[in-house]
Homo-oligomer: A and B are copies of this chain.
Amino acid sequence: MSPFNLHPDRLFPADPGTRAIARALYEQVANLPIISPHGHTDPAWFADDQPWSNPTELLLAPDHYLFRMLYSQGIDLDALGVPRRGGVQPDTDPRAAWRLFASHWKLFRGTPSSMWLSHVLSSVFGIMIALDETSADHVFDLIGDALATPAFRPRALFERFNIELLATTEGAADDLAHHKAIRASGWKGNVVTTYRPDSVIDPEHDSFARDIERFAALTGENVESWQGYLCAHRRRRADFRAMGATATDHGFATAQTANLSLRACEALFAKVMGGRADAEEAELFRAQMLTEMARMSLVDGMTMQIHPGATRNHNARLFASHGRDKGADIPRRTDYVEALRPMLDLVGNERDLKIILFTLDETSYTRELAPLAGHYPCLKLGPAWWFHDSPEGMRRFREMTTETAGFYNGVGFNDDTRAFLSIPARHDVARRIDCGFLARLVAEQRIADWEAAELAEELTVGLVRKAYGLEAPVREAQAA
């Protein structure tokens, strides 16, 4: 087995002068609390505070970054313990799955997964050994032993990670039971929800019919009428706000918006609910609903997040056998300039509205997103996302957006993860890359060192608090 250590200067620029500046900046922000306003951890973990079972179920089987790469090299998902459609667990020995993973660890060289998992093993579990086929069992046992101890239960790690706020994401048909349980438990960890109504908005979503029914049941509204349907959204947004939500999230294939007349909305809605909407009408309905969500945000103050651009479930065979979120979501060319226009015509000049735009299409950074966010008061730039949540991806994001949109139209970092244990690693990578970028600006005398220091703190905590309404008044509102 070979030793492994996280290098204290990892991810900083190689030039010694720039590196020294980066290191100094990083030291100022390294220990700031983690604010995670957008993620996909399971609130049940914090409600129940049960120990996790084993490294495979915790770290490998739910992480589509890991198993998609292994799959791309011909490794069977069953052999990795990845659940099949409907959550059916394959009959795989977790230790055998872990060994298979460890023996292919080299596939991740140069990827963010490698940095994140190394950080988890080293900083969270204190394992100073490189993962490979020779160490697989030893690492499996070390992690397994740790997970059985109280210090590795979800709440204990939450506290150890110095998390100021963690947002999960729930659908509009979710009863928020786990969030209620967290609150009822008296535990002080600040876990909040996020309103993600995709499955009751997208007529092509595979849970649409089922979730509309639950949506009706949860709200008591007549969701068969356009006005009742909108009221149901308003009610659920209030439910979510009561569970700490300050934001909504919308993830359709495109960023298309629309602003139809009331009569057109009613007619379209009737088609959608009657199951008679074709693909174009389904798209128009999603487009109209983005505008409706913006309108509701104007009233209730929730920050709106738009995450477009993924072609979901591209691999038909894998979708049939394993269902959603199995690493087969592929980005697509995404237009913002014409797509957002109907919504921006209505709310673009609102100063108190916050709409955060994300992209999987990096060509939109300089061409569309930075110019839009550098002009419209309501628009903010989400950080480098998903495939771009990586050292090179974050550098490109900063290089391609800062000159046009500045730093202050950004919103800080999102970890966007289901992998709770990797949250400190992900924030650490972002802090290091941001400090490295700022250091280069200082080294090239484009900003002063004291400006870089202010900016490092803004990028780490200031801008995220502002963008997600996490400053004092909102906290009081939550307390109320």
Contacts and interface: CB of A to CB of B under 8 A. Distances in A.
A4 B439 CA distance: 19
Contact of A330 (B375, B399, B402): B375
A124 to B, nearest CB: 19
A216 B468 CA distance: 57
Contact of A363 (B69, B106, B348, B367): B367
B375 A68 contact: yes
B387 A404 contact: yes
Contacts of A335: 333
A315 interface: yes
Interface in A436-466: 440-441, 443-447, 451, 454-455
A404 to B, nearest CB: 5
Given A374-B68, A379-B72, A399-B392, A16 B13 contact: no
Contacts of A408: 73, 106-107
Contact of A377 (B12, B74, B447): B74
Contacts of A331: 337, 366-368, 371
Given A106-B451, A315-B344, A317-B348, A444 B363 contact: no
A376 B315 contact: yes
Nearest to A345: B316
A403 interface: yes
Nearest to A335: B333
A366 B332 CA distance: 10
A406 interface: yes
B367 A318 contact: no
A107 B367 contact: no
A393 interface: yes
A387 B370 contact: yes
Given A10-B445, A68-B375, A392-B403, 16 more contacts: A14-B17, A14-B444, A68-B374, A72-B377, A108-B406, A109-B407, A111-B404, A112-B403, A114-B446, A115-B446, A315-B344, A318-B349, A333-B335, A333-B363, A360-B367, A392-B400
Interface of A: 7, 9-18, 68-69, 71-74, 106-112, 114-115, 311, 314-318, 327-333, 335, 337-338, 341, 344-345, 348-349, 351, 360-363, 366-368, 370-377, 379, 387-388, 390-393, 399-400, 402-409, 440-441, 443-447, 451, 454-455
6 contacts: A12-B444, A14-B17, A14-B440, A110-B447, A314-B375, A332-B368
